[in-house]
Structure 1
Amino acid sequence: MPDHEVYENPLISRYASRPMASLWGAQKKFSTWRRLWVWLAEAEAELGLPITAAQLDELRAKVDDIDFTAAAGYEKKLRHDVMAHVHTYGDACPNAKGIIHLGATSNFVVDNADVIVIRESLELVASRLAAVIDALAAFAEKHRDLPTLGFTHLQPAQPTTVGKRATLWCYDLALDLAEVEHRIATLKARSTKGTTGTQASFLELFEGDHDKCRQLEQRVAEKMGFDASYAVTGQTYPRKVDAQVLDCLSGIAASAHKATTDLRILAMRKEIEEPFEEHQIGSSAMPYKRNPMRSERIGALSRFVMSLAQNGAATHATQWMERTLDDSANRRLSLPQAFLGVDAVLVIYENVARGMVVYPEVIAKNLREELPFMITENVLMEAVKAGGDRQDLHEKIRQHSQAAGAVVKQQGGANDLLDRLRSDDAFKAVDLGSIADPSQLVGRAPQQVDEFLTEVVAPIRERYADRAAEGEELRV
Structure 2
Amino acid sequence: MAAQGDCGGPQAAYGYDSYRSPLASRYASPEMCFMFSDKYKFRTWRQLWLWLAEAEQTLGLPITDEQIQEMKSNLDNIDFKMAAEEEKQLRHDVMAHVHTFGHCCPKAAGIIHLGATSCYVGDNTDLIILRNAFDLLLPKLARVISRLADFAKERADLPTLGFTHFQPAQLTTVGKRCCLWIQDLCMDLQNLKRVRDDLRFRGVKGTTGTQASFLQLFEGDNQKVEQLDKMVTEKAGFKRAFIITGQTYTRKVDIEVLSVLASLGASVHKICTDIRLLANLKEIEEPFEKQQIGSSAMPYKRNPMRSERCCSLARHLMTLIMDPLQTASVQWFERTLDDSANRRICLAEAFLTADTILNTLQNISEGLVVYPKVIERRIRQELPFMATENIIMAMVKAGGNRQAAAIVKQEGGDNDLIERILTDAYFSPIHSQLDHLLDPSSFTGRASQQVRRFLEEEVYPLLKPYEHVMKVKAELCL
| TM-score when normalising by structure 2 | 0.94
Deviation at 1:388, TM superposition (A): 4.0
Structure 2 partner of 1:418 = 418
Q: Tell me if the contact between 1:39 and 1:223 (Cα under 8 Å) persists in the aligned partners.
A: yes
Q: Which residue of 1 aligns with 2:299?
A: 287
Question: Which of residues 202, 213, 216 in structure 1 aligns to 2:225?
Answer: 213
Runs of 5+ in structure 2 lacking a partner? 1-11
CA distance 1:399–1:202, shift in 2 (3 Å): farther
Does residue 243 of the first structure (1) align with residue 255 of the second (2)?
A: yes
C-alpha spacing 1:321/1:400, structure 2 compared with 1 (3 Å): farther
**Among residues 401, 405, 408, which one is paired with 1:394 in the alignment?**
405
Q: In the alignment, what sits opposite 1:411?
A: none
TM-superposed deviation, 1:417: 1.8
Structure 2 counterpart SS, 1:447: helix
1:150-299 equivalences under 5 Å are: 150-299=162-311
Give secondary structure in 1 for the equivalent of 2:76.
Answer: coil
Deviations 1:204-244 (A, max 9, x none): 11111111111111111000001100231111111111111
Secondary structure of residue in 1 paired with 2:149:
helix
1:282-330 CA deviation, whole Å, 9 max, x = no partner? 0001121111111101111111111111111111111111111111111
Helix, strand or coil for the counterpart of 1:4?
Answer: coil
Deviation string 1:171-192 (CA, Å, 9 cap, x unpaired) is 2111100001101110110001
State the Cα distance separating 1:131 from its structure 2 match: 0.8
**Matched residues in 2 for 1:436 and 1:209: separation?**
83
SS in 1 for 2:163: strand
Q: Give the Cα–Cα distance (whole angstroms) in 2 for the partners of residues 111 and 470 of structure 1.
A: 32
Shifted more, 447-456 versus 30-39: the winner is 447-456
Asked if structure 2 preserves the Cα contact closer than 8 Å seen for 1:347 and 1:471, the reply is no
Instruction: Name which of 330, 338, 353 aligns with 1:326.
Output: 338
In structure 2, the CA distance between the partners of 1:435 and 1:218, relative to structure 1 (3 Å rule), is same
Q: Is the 8 A contact 1:112 1:190 kept in 2?
A: yes
Cα distance 1:313–1:399, how it changes in 2: closer, same or farther (>3 A)? farther
Q: Deviations over 1:61-80 (max 9, x none)?
A: 11111000000000011111
* Identity over aligned pairs, percent: 53
CA shift for structure 1 position 280: 0.7
* Residue 443 of structure 2, aligned match among 435, 441, 444: 441
Q: Is the 8 A contact 1:17 1:472 kept in 2?
A: no
Letter in 2 for 1:184: R
2:472 equivalent to 1:461: no
Partner of 2:153: 141
Shift of 1:425: 4.8
Shift of 1:48: 1.1
Q: In the aligned structure 2, how far is the partner of 1:213 from the partner of 1:438?
A: 71
Q: Which amino acid aligns with 1:58?
A: E
Deviation at residue 344 of structure 1 after TM alignment: 0.5
Count of residue pairs the alignment pairs up: 464
**Is there any run of 5+ residues in structure 1 with no aligned partner, and where?**
405-414
Q: Identify which range, 443-452 or 331-340, moves more after superposition.
A: 443-452
- Supply the AA of the counterpart residue of 2:368: M
Matches within 5 A, 1:398-409: 398-401=409-412, 403-404=413-414
Query: 331, 345, 358: which one pairs with 1:346?
Result: 358
> CA separation in 2, counterparts of 1:389 and 1:321?
79
Q: Name the residue aligned to 2:99.
A: 87
Distance (Å, rounded) in 1 between the aligned partners of 2:117 and 2:426: 86
CA distance in 2, matches of 1:199, 1:226: 19
SS of residue in 1 equivalent to 2:34: helix
Which residue number in structure 2 is paired with residue 10 of structure 1? 22
Instruction: Look up the SS of the partner of 2:168 in the other structure.
Output: strand
Aligned to 1:99: 111
1:368 and 1:115 mapped to 2: Cα distance? 56
Task: Note the aligned Cα RMSD (angstroms).
Answer: 1.6
Deviation at 1:420, TM superposition (A): 3.0
Structure-2 separation of matches of 1:371 and 1:251: 36
Distance 1:128 1:27 in 2: 24
Can you list the C-alpha shifts for 1:228-280, whole angstroms capped at 9, x where unaligned?
Answer: 00231111111111111101111111111111110111110111100111111
* Partner amino acid, structure 1, of 2:43: S
